[in-house]
Amino acid sequence: MTLGTVQASISGERRVALVPPVVSALSKKGLEVLIESNAGREAGISDDAFREAGARIVQETEAWESDILALVAPPSDEEIARLASGAVVVGFMQPLDEPARIARLADQGVTALAMELVPRISRAQKMDALSAMASLAGYKATLIAANRLPRFFPLLTTAAGTVRPANVTILGAGVAGLQAIATARRLGARVWGYDIREAAREEVKSLGAQFVELDLETEDMQDEGGYAKALMAAKAEQQVELLVPHLAKSDVVITTALIPGRRAPTLVSEAAIKAMKPGSIVVDLAAATGGNCVLTEPDRVTTQHGVQIIGYTNLPSTVPADASFLYARTISAMIGEFVKDGVFETNFEDEIFKAACVCHEGQVVHERVRNLIDR
């Protein structure tokens, strides 16, 4: 069977789904790897590097005709129409945000595996693309904030006087949030972390940050997958109000709170923005799903009430070399798990395959996605 990848068509996407080290590994499993010419250019990977790893460089049309296609971004309607019936597509599919796309993939007769739905079990850790990309996003968000803040992050003592460290607050202590905390600490800031999950308290403190204490009842706020549950409306409003005094003291706020398949929860109100000092920074990593800040505009930097609000939606793509390497490792692990003697074998008895597969043989097979389509 052939395994192909293409250059992403989405504006600003610089990652590539396969890199030379995984090409070598997948070739040993009996797959012929096809790479669209220049697919890795934005990630600093030449066609020659792919050739040396055993791949064959092809034109776009031939790559799209592959038996298995590894993608970074979900395929557009035009790209779905190019897929052969019976093909296998693996990548980020946004199945809970755009279930209609999964229905179109099913109609095309392809088998699609969504990397977002890889279960959080030990055997699947090597396939956890979301965590890998979230870590990069948390790191870059902190660097962007440090670059735009009109003051230093660290305590700085000079002959002319002492500069106090910046106050940085991270809302959401998942992978992205914890990486943001660690990065801000390394840069010398005073850091606070907040999450509604009680389990996150010790993780925040273990990185040397202080935990934001709110007078809010938040027991049992973690689901089976380790994600935060949505608060009831009254508690959600109370949480937003209780955060205002703390955010007012922050020079930088980085928000990372997401709930799979739902709009991002509101954490930063306009009242909080008004209370922050002029020149302060908000980096909203939930901008793609509505934003944690009510004033966030996706893929834009705006200034509201003297505060810069940054809504970049694809920070991993700003470090395309490492992002591609990490993403390709997860893609390779997923595909390699189900390839035997050069043939990709569907296996609904396997909990990883069952959790990640969203459509197969003309049907949407993932129950949660199917329920979203039937609404």
Q: What is the pLDDT of residues 85-136, one digit of tens each?
A: 999 999 999 999 999 999 999 999 999 999 999 999 999 999 999 999 999 9
Domains and CATH numbers, the chain: 2-117+320-366 (3.40.50.720), 133-318 (3.40.50.720)
Q: Quickly state the pLDDT bin for 225 (edges 50, 70, 90).
A: low
Q: Quickly state the pLDDT bin for 375 (edges 50, 70, 90).
A: low
SS3 88: strand
Q: Which residue in 227, 238, 304, 370 is the catalytic one? A: 227
Q: Which amino acid is at 250?
A: S
Q: Residue range 332-348: average pLDDT?
A: 96
- Do the Cβ atoms of 194 and 214 come closer than 8 Å? yes
SS3 163: strand
> Does the annotation mark 131 as catalytic?
yes
- Do the Cβ atoms of 331 and 129 come closer than 8 Å? yes
CB atoms within 10 A of CB 252: 28
Residue 343 has a pLDDT of 96
Tokens 């949407």 correspond to 364
Question: DSSP secondary-structure letter at 222?
Answer: B
> Does the annotation mark 125 as catalytic?
yes
β-sheet with 32-36: strand ranges across: 56-58, 32-36, 2-5, 68-70, 88-91, 111-114, 357-360, 363-364
Q: Quickly state the pLDDT bin for 230 (edges 50, 70, 90).
A: low
Burial of 345 (0-12, 13-18, 19+ CB in 10 A): exposed
Q: Which residue in 56, 82, 120, 185 is the catalytic one? A: 120
pLDDT at 367 over 60: yes
Residue 199 has a pLDDT of 87
Q: Quickly state the pLDDT bin for 198 (edges 50, 70, 90).
A: confident
Encoded tokens for 336: 């390699």
pLDDT at 221 over 60: no
CB atoms within 10 A of CB 47: 16
Q: Residue range 47-69: average pLDDT?
A: 97
Q: Residue range 294-310: average pLDDT?
A: 98
- Which alpha helices (H) appear in 187-258, and where do they start and end? 200-206, 233-248
Residues in the chain, total: 375
Q: Which residue in 7, 108, 131, 332 is the catalytic one? A: 131
**Separation between Cα atoms, residue 282 and residue 273, nearest integer Å:** 9
SS3 36: strand
> Does the annotation mark 227 as catalytic?
yes
CB atoms within 10 A of CB 321: 16
Across all residues in the chain, what is the average pLDDT?
Answer: 95
Q: Residue range 238-264: average pLDDT?
A: 95
pLDDT at 216 over 90: no
Residue 141 has a pLDDT of 98
Q: Quickly state the pLDDT bin for 229 (edges 50, 70, 90).
A: low
Q: For a pLDDT cut of 90, what percent of the chain falls above it?
A: 90
Q: Residue range 200-217: average pLDDT?
A: 93
Cα diameter, the chain: 72
Q: How far is CA 103 from CA 67, 119, 203, in A?
A: 20, 22, 39
> Does the annotation mark 312 as catalytic?
no
The closest alpha carbon to 134, from 92, 196, 193, belongs to: 92
Q: Residue range 347-360: average pLDDT?
A: 97
How far is residue 42 CA from its own chain's centroid?
Answer: 19
> Does the annotation mark 327 as catalytic?
no
Q: Which residue in 66, 101, 128, 239 is the catalytic one? A: 128
Q: Which amino acid is at 241?
A: E
175-186 and 129-148 are packed helices; what angle lies between their axes, rounded to 10 degrees?
40
**Separation between Cα atoms, residue 309 and residue 225, nearest integer Å:** 30
Q: Quickly state the pLDDT bin for 374 (edges 50, 70, 90).
A: confident
Q: Quickly state the pLDDT bin for 232 (edges 50, 70, 90).
A: confident
CB atoms within 10 A of CB 249: 14
Question: DSSP secondary-structure letter at 232?
Answer: P
Q: Residue range 311-332: average pLDDT?
A: 98
Q: Quickly state the pLDDT bin for 235 (edges 50, 70, 90).
A: confident
The closest alpha carbon to 17, from 327, 370, 307, 334, belongs to: 327
- Do the Cβ atoms of 83 and 61 come closer than 8 Å? no
Under the phi-then-psi rule, with left for phi > 0, alpha for psi from -120 to 50, and beta for the rest, what region is 54? left
Q: How far is CA 6 from CA 41, 208, 308, 330, 336, in A?
A: 11, 42, 36, 17, 19
Question: DSSP secondary-structure letter at 174?
Answer: S
SS3 112: strand
